[in-house]
Structure 1
């Protein structure tokens, strides 16, 4: 299962959307994401059936705690053991856990405790799974195709959101929560043989990406022998600072083998954080992502619900607005999938964040549902475009040895810290109304675009092509 076929890291001339190896990875990722969507439907339904609404809410929220606490450690694990091995192991654990709860619910009515335990297991595994998933594209395709892969990944997420909900609901209607958990486990299981068949590439370290680290590379050179963030920590990558033939991965060994040097996980984590902090592109990019997400998550989640209630749009009107956002985000993902690369990526991402922030602020002042759908479509298009470009820049700017930890920090910002803005947004809307809060959130989001445009190295960052 863990054996790896090594392919060259150079460009092949085959676009990612026509590459069978990338398509196998995409099929595995899509199956896993659809399984996740079905799992959340099953968990919410089973929790409501087994307990009170407050207890059901607690079960749904409990997975966020281990995910947030352990995410950075998950990035270290992804870099140490190789992202494919970690993703396969994570999917096996999630599959076994889902099928076990399905069997338990089928045989008896155990109450809430197995559901809460399952949520904790999924949250813990997600902390390892998400950084590994983020680090995997760089090992299944060439650097010049990573932007296209980000677009394909965005389309996969949209597909999972559209298909997973109705599929989970159908499974619940036919066989209850047990059938839905079983279906989720089987969908996640489908990803495992597909991932095993995917050929791994030895990612080449780009000269510009190395230069973008500035003093980080020199400063962390001494850390390589200690804590391994030190570039020896990534089993899939070469060791910068080693002889050139090794640094370029020309005669690399299997990516999933452990590094020869003994390192400590804490040293890996510290070196990874130092690497990001000193990197001339990644550090401001993380700040731009954080500000953009903090200003985006509140209004487009709890804020939209309160806005629809205030304007009398009802649940159906809110659904149409959310659909507009989904269509816009899907269009942005499709654009990157087809084009493969947009020039002046740093510039475009910054302006997209700024324009998207203006659209977020305008959403609170539109006169009716139809106009709100149009604005939401624009928000989705701009947010999807900036998000995909930021993700592609993370993939191409980061040294492969640090990619798991870089992805972990980005995921922690987006999935750990940004959701905290939801209760704050709800409380602020209760105190001041939707208009001021949407404008304030838009200003926070817009600061992300200001960072992207004011920091020279990030503004001038380009995607390979």
Structure 2
């Protein structure tokens, strides 16, 4: 039976720019509130763990939430495709709100032990494994294909706002009201995000006929859907190479820029202030890249620009460890942020435009697994390697891994020539 082809969102009318679309802006506001809530929650969890356990227990509490996120992320993509991303996003956001507000209420009457905090972190990790793939699969349902690059730019700006405001807000709340106040505000932010998500209008995605999509997908079980999604990515001319680029670039990027930079600042005597300048410059660069995508909307030869951005960003990563002053390190950090932000935005836009609608949740879950599930596991390896060989060699190897991702992308003609829809 042939599938009915439904016109894509926005095809029957002129596209409204994403940054002027009230529906998109509601989604961006919900996403921003959710990310700020994440930062406040993490700060509250860290301080509650510090007050109730040993340093080892604190480390366990902070790390344990990543386990279900890594293990269940692909399953979250299956549920997003089976039930629809809107239903999964709203349900998981409601669950986060309920859990965090319950913890805030509990902290008013008792001091939680490490066991309770570990349970909270595990539950939050499970919910995140559902939320993240679904929220990444929503943009094609709220805007036209030609506006997806703008949405990724706006999403990047939201991430920068959350990074700048979430940590300091959480710190102030803990300082003046304790972890209970921080958990309460995090829950309120999730509640506000939930209200906005409910108000977002979701259009049906087009159903495209394709030889790559199994005709019996609707009757397949969850495991079959998961394996079909992995097989779909592996055989896709653009998505397969794109996932390899994401995996390698994230593995080469996360360790040195998060943990390695702390160790580098300590080794060079830059102190926390010097590291702050480098991190701030990175944020400015990433924000500028996001703003470029949000305003421009579309970059020609997106696949080529993506791969070259990854290669250029890898060179800047390697330079951070060898420049003699913190000022030059900040300049290198600016270029890392600019190129990484540009590459990341284009990765998201190409993922959403190249994917078949019925597979978008699973494809998003695979890319999110690399960025938020597997890549953070490189922290212990980065720390041990710095201890053995110093920061210079570790940054060079990390830059080489990241650059290999961009070079690999250039080797695949389909990805190198990939274009975004006009908009």
What is aligned with 1:241? none
Of stretches 274-283 and 408-417 in structure 1, the one that deviates more from structure 2 is 408-417
- Cα shift at 1:23: 0.7
**1:219 positional shift:** 5.0
What is the DSSP-based 3-state SS (H/G/I as helix, E as strand, rest coil) of the residue aligned with 2:211? helix
The equivalent residue for 2:396 is 439
Does residue 370 (structure 1) correspond to residue 372 (structure 2)? The answer is: no
CA distance in 1, matches of 2:114, 2:383: 28
Determine if the alignment matches structure 1 residue 290 to structure 2 residue 247.
yes
Q: Give the aligned partner of residue 170 of structure 1.
A: 172
Is the aligned partner of 1:380 residue 2:337?
A: yes
RMSD: 1.4
Cα separation, 2, equivalents of 1:391 and 1:376: 22
Query: 3-state SS of the aligned residue for 1:201?
Result: coil
Preserved contact between residue 150 and residue 294 of structure 2 (Cα < 8 Å): yes
* Aligned-residue offset at 1:446: 0.5
Q: For residue 321 of structure 1, what is the aligned residue in structure 2?
A: 278
Tell me the distance in 2 between the aligned counterparts of 1:108 and 1:417: 35
1:201-235 superposed Cα distances (whole Å, 9 cap, x missing partner): 122367xxx8xxxxxx43543xx31xx2xxx4xxx
Quick one: distance in 2 between partners of 1:63 and 1:49? 19
Q: Residue in 1 aligned with 2:376?
A: 419
In structure 1, the residue matched to 2:92 is 90
1:200 counterpart SS class:
coil
For structure 2, the residue ranges without an aligned partner over 5 or more in a row are 1-6
Measure, in 1, the Cα distance between the counterparts of 2:417 and 2:238: 9
- 8 Å Cα contact 1:357-1:446 kept in structure 2: yes
Q: 1:141: which partner in 2?
A: 143
Q: Does the 8 Å CA contact 1:9/1:203 hold for their aligned counterparts?
A: no
CA distance in 2, matches of 1:27, 1:363: 34
Query: Matched residues in 2 for 1:220 and 1:25: separation?
Result: 29
Query: Per-residue CA shift, 1:251-296, capped at 9, x if unaligned?
Result: xxxxxxxxxxx33111110111110010000000000111111111
The CA distance in 2 between the partners of 1:80 and 1:205, in whole Å, is 14
- Taking the aligned partners of 1:116 and 1:430, their CA distance within structure 2 comes to 29
Structure-2 separation of matches of 1:220 and 1:153: 29
Tell whether 2:62 aligns with 1:33: no
User: Structure 1: how far apart are the matches of 2:128 and 2:97?
Assistant: 13
1:38-86 deviation per Cα after TM superposition (whole angstroms, max 9, x unaligned): 1011000111011111111110101011000101100000111111111
Q: Deviations over 1:314-363 (max 9, x none)?
A: 11111111111111111100110010111000010111111111111111
Distance 2:186 2:361 in 1: 26
Q: Counterpart of 2:398 in 1: which secondary structure?
A: helix
CA distance in 2, matches of 1:309, 1:191: 38
Question: Are residues 1:218 and 2:220 paired?
Answer: no
Tell me how far apart the structure 1 counterparts of residues 415 and 220 of structure 2 sit (CA, whole Å). Answer: 32
Give CA deviations for 1:407-433 in whole Å, capped at 9, x if unaligned: 000011112221222211221122112
Task: Tell me which protein shows more helix as a share of its residues.
Answer: 2
Report deviation, 1:157: 0.7
Q: In structure 2, what is the Cα distance between the partners aligned to 1:420 and 1:96?
A: 29
TM-score (norm: length of structure 1): 0.87
Distance across 2 between alignment mates of 1:420 and 1:70 = 15
Pairwise CA distance, 1:8? 4.3
- 1:285 partner SS: helix
CA shift in 2, pair 1:7/1:108, >3 Å:
farther
**CA deviation profile, 1:364-395 (whole Å, cap 9, x unmatched):** 11011111001001000000100110111001
SS in 1 for 2:143: coil
Q: Where do 5+ consecutive residues of structure 1 fail to align? A: 1-5, 211-216, 233-261
The answer for the alignment partner of 2:237 in structure 1 is 280
Q: Distance in 1 between matches of 2:207 and 2:265?
A: 48
Q: Give, in angstroms, the shift of residue 9 of structure 1.
A: 4.2
Call closer, same or farther: CA 1:9–1:204 in 2, change over 3 Å.
Answer: farther
Q: TM-score, normalised by structure 2?
A: 0.96
Instruction: Tell which deviates more after alignment, 196-205 or 162-171.
Output: 196-205
1:59 aligns with: 61
Which one of the candidate residues 16, 23, 38 is aligned to 1:21? 23
Kept in 1: contact 2:36–2:162 (CA 8 A): yes
Offset at residue 192 of structure 1 (A)? 1.5
